Amino acid sequence: MRGDREHCLSAGMDGYLTKPIRADDVYRTLEEFTSVKVPHGTVNATEPTVVTADRLLGPINQHALDKLRALETRGAGTFLREIIQAYLKSAPERFLALRKAAEAGDAKELERCAHSYRGMSATLGADRVAVLCQSVETLAATGYVDKTAPLLDSLAQEFVLVLAALESEVAGTAETPAEAMPS
């Protein structure tokens, strides 16, 4: 959000990264503020992923997860798991806060909650959730809280699908969207 970078830096942070997370930005920031240098070959430098429709369908855009996997050091495999687990832990609370703000008619809080939920969802490739949150955020910002109910209903349905997909990812049983499609 506007002014976040300046607020964080004035509060004493050394740096600031925006979402979506990009490997180059993380490495550049690590090298700028620490003695850590990312030696060639230690990062999961997988071949560039060809984005096909079957990787974009479904509740999670697998291409986004592939980008996060690329940030993991070879063999560690915990970075993506930790991000997903943090999402699984906080997303239900954020969704409830979103609903509560809408029910209370609190446009400012609804906008803030939708923005936060959108960012964390977009980072993990929950693109449909992010789009719905963007719509809720826009309506709240313009004072149309009463128009958000259908979007929140759609968001609730999508939220269930995203949680199931991410839980499968953490368990190591994630299917590609094409495999999950009914025949």
Model pLDDT for residues 109-131, shown as the tens digit of each residue:
999 999 999 999 998 999 999 99
pTM of the entire predicted model = 0.66
What's 110's domain CATH number?
1.20.120.160
Domain identity same for 70 and 155: yes
R_g of the chain computed on alpha carbons: 18
DSSP 113-144: HHHHHHHHHHHTT-HHHHHHHHHHHHHHHTT-
CB 93 within 8 A of CB 112: no
Spatial distance between the Cα atoms of 95 and 2, rounded to a whole number of angstroms: 23
* Percent over 70 (pLDDT), the chain: 70
pLDDT digits (tens, 9 = 90+) for 67-101: 888 777 655 567 888 889 999 999 999 999 999 99
DSSP state of 147: G
Return d(Cα 181, Cα 82) in angstroms, integer: 27
Position 3 in a domain: yes
164, 75: one domain = yes
- My answer on whether 56 and 32 are in the same domain is no
**Whole domain around residue 18: which residue ranges?**
1-38
Let me know how many helices (H) and strands (E) the chain has, helices first. Answer: 9, 0
The angle at the Cα of 124, spanning 70 to 142, to the nearest 5 degrees, equals 140
- Number of domains within the chain: 2
Instruction: For residue 37, give every residue at least 6 positions away whose Cβ sits within 8 Å of its Cβ, in sequence order, or none.
Output: 31
Q: Are residues 59 and 93 in the same domain?
A: yes
**What are 107's two structure tokens?**
């446009």
Residue keyed to tokens 């291409």: 63
